[in-house]
Structure 1
């Protein structure tokens, strides 16, 4: 209870009233299910960080499988809330529709431009779910209705892009107050083409209520102040940041390079995996990484896209581009690349010589990311999670095919937020998107 009071105090003092979550929602009419398909009340959602690996059998769909298992065990009357830049996965769309049909309230927000690009083709996720959610909603109270919708540009700001990737669930099986977020969109490509991470926190009502407060703001589609709060060892920072400190620098500025007591060398390990670095913001973070490298930190970086002047700042450092181009030219449906957007520090950080910090995020290090709808979750003093993140970045670094000197332009789509951009260019057109190929092993 004390953690909840702390979170409420922080939110009310800085950004308005927190709307507490409801523990016992009204149960709507439900569909009778075969025993094999019924939610398991004993299922436990495992907290921690999950990684997928696009090259390895059984590991490509790990994040999607975790989402689906959590969703499958939400009982009738439960609430599921999703925000994702892109939802383009028939596999996941069917799972969310099935949850709605058994009485779960499913509400989803995605990018307007990408939703429009799907048109009215019922093979595509947005029109498919819009039509399915409308069925069975008439007899439900407003708070338990299901829907999928978009925001004008950002949901909580005046400019930028709706770029978050998160799922909030009030309860699944025996687990409550579930916050899930990370770098992966709800697409087949996120499962089998990209290196992504997905962080799960459970049984933390204060954190859940804080994120639901953000959700309530997002549904209003208007400008809100920057929002951040801390509960226990977890700090949440939601964009748009405005004059707030950069999430990445809020961690890196507290690093001391020597005197670590939890690394074999005594040097602090800094592991960075952020897909896109650009403009002045990306340069600021790169200069800090360079400074830490020169001060003796053990710094390692993997990325996907980076402007030339930022590559110049990092020249000579251990920084590698994880982009596998499968043909002679880039192909956004075939290439494999790192899509993570975070970092980990193991060593002398936050005033502790045995410190551990993980930043898990949906945010690229660009000016667009600064103004967009993005979420950052900073978890401190979790040694197991930090060690897992460090090991995963080391793995990607070993497998990455390109150094700064043989950088290539990536196949990742241009994150231009203008609504007509994708529609006019036919971005992810229904005749082009290889649904069956990308999702064959997930179903």
Structure 2
């Protein structure tokens, strides 16, 4: 496997001196909870992308939650569950996690301090708060890997050392384990299992998160030819890649899009870019918007779905004739993201943080999806975030079909500049 920014992983002790991921042949924690010949588990988690639909059926609303809950149910004694989620407020999730602990599963959870409620308090009472114990729930004051310097623990990653017949299960999502993520947000999740190096990369980050103190390096990258994973916090240093870095990974990605492409990619010889972004605003948001607008002027086909997207960002995009729609509904008073006050805003919205590129990227024809937890606004630079870079035509097709379904549905997207009071979500 080819690794980019190998120095970052080397600092975490994940790489050998040759720059390759160490121990790739052995599953981490594989000796724990190994199945006996008399009782071989057969359940396997579904892999790849899944999306919830907050204005759909119960099955549609809970599609992502079901993946996580099924993983918990199928985790055997001795295995380890590790969750990093901005918040957990679902009592059904808590019940499953407590039952897992009672049958001998190690349950380790890291959450952000902003929205602590009875569910998280109950889990901490059950699991304790010692980060060196086999089970715990840690509440980070700010971004965990940033100590008390600012930001949030904003990741939404759910892992299982073993679940059913699968090992090294990783579910990365835009969805927290919250009621709002099911009832009021469009979200996605992407599941991988059996990729022990990917699992180790999260394990290394998690083992930093749980101590809630500042660490270095600030940006850690795991990469193969088909999958890149970027864990970052605060203003990141320049990466050793084939371009001049701005220090903002999102801005750099947009700048690496080229608008002419070859047959079999894009449309009519043009690269096609689709964006669905929850929070896109401020000085950073404007910079990214200008880069996206530049791609349109160079000939790319670009369209955007936004939720908390500023008037200035919309102005920049539309100024280059980029089509923009909003996925924000049910405006009114709600609890702020920080949990400290009531604010006016949207209570039903797309929570996706997705960009798809079908065309030329980093100098070659490609079909790539970026998805994860990072918004295109300044707060993301100071938070614990993760972004997946997936090079797979089938995955891109699935994300683009979802994007198109949202774009075409009047109960999901609408013209920008209005604040609908109607609530199409559950």
TM-score range, shorter chain: 0.7 to 0.9
Residue 17 of structure 1, CA deviation: 1.9
Residue 230 of structure 1, CA deviation: 3.0
Q: What runs of 5+ residues in structure 2 fail to find an aligned partner?
A: 16-22, 238-246, 336-344
Distance in 2, matches of 1:190 and 1:84, equals 12
CA contact (8 A) 1:276 1:304 kept: yes
Task: Please tell me whether residue 99 in structure 1 is matched to residue 88 in structure 2.
Answer: no
The counterpart of 1:223, out of the listed 214, 222, 227, is: 214
Q: Which moved more, 1:395-404 or 1:168-177?
A: 395-404
Task: Please tell me whether residue 268 in structure 1 is matched to residue 271 in structure 2.
Answer: yes
The equivalent residue for 1:133 is 127
- Three-state SS of the structure 2 residue aligned to 1:148 is strand
The equivalent residue for 1:319 is 324
CA contact (8 A) 1:293 1:299 kept: yes
Between structures 1 and 2, the one with greater strand share: 2
Distance in 2, matches of 1:159 and 1:331, equals 23
Task: Please tell me whether residue 152 in structure 1 is matched to residue 152 in structure 2.
Answer: no
- Three-state SS of the structure 1 residue aligned to 2:160 is strand
CA contact (8 A) 2:131 2:211 kept: no
CA contact (8 A) 1:179 1:208 kept: yes
Q: Which moved more, 1:241-250 or 1:208-217?
A: 241-250
The equivalent residue for 2:233 is 240
Q: Which moved more, 1:46-55 or 1:241-250?
A: 241-250
CA contact (8 A) 2:168 2:194 kept: yes
Distance in 2, matches of 1:409 and 1:260, equals 42
The equivalent residue for 2:404 is 394
Pairing of 1:53-72 with structure 2 (within 5 A): 53-57=53-57, 58-72=59-73
- Three-state SS of the structure 2 residue aligned to 1:17 is coil
Residue 394 of structure 1, CA deviation: 1.4
Residue 352 of structure 1, CA deviation: 2.6
The equivalent residue for 1:279 is 282
Computed over aligned residues only, the root mean square deviation of the Cα atoms, in angstroms, reads 2.9
Q: What runs of 5+ residues in structure 1 fail to find an aligned partner?
A: 28-38, 119-123, 412-436, 439-443
Distance change >3 Å, CA 142–CA 222, structure 1 → 2: closer
Distance in 2, matches of 1:194 and 1:79, equals 29
The counterpart of 1:177, out of the listed 168, 180, 185, is: 168
The equivalent residue for 1:374 is 385
CA contact (8 A) 2:9 2:222 kept: no
The equivalent residue for 1:421 is none
> When the two structures are aligned, how many residues end up with a matched partner?
381
Residue 251 of structure 1, CA deviation: 2.6
Task: Please tell me whether residue 23 in structure 1 is matched to residue 30 in structure 2.
Answer: yes
Residue 241 of structure 1, CA deviation: 4.1
The counterpart of 2:350, out of the listed 338, 353, 376, is: 338
- Three-state SS of the structure 2 residue aligned to 1:220 is coil
The counterpart of 1:357, out of the listed 349, 365, 368, is: 368
Distance change >3 Å, CA 396–CA 89, structure 1 → 2: same
Per-residue Cα deviation, 1:73-129 (whole angstroms, up to 9, x for no partner): 1111111111111111112111111211111111111111311xx2xxxxx311222
Distance in 2, matches of 1:73 and 1:40, equals 12
Pairing of 1:398-417 with structure 2 (within 5 A): 398-399=408-409, 400-404=412-416, 406-408=417-419
TM-score under structure 2 length normalisation: 0.82
Pairing of 1:39-50 with structure 2 (within 5 A): 41-50=41-50
Residue 340 of structure 1, CA deviation: 0.6
Distance change >3 Å, CA 373–CA 62, structure 1 → 2: same
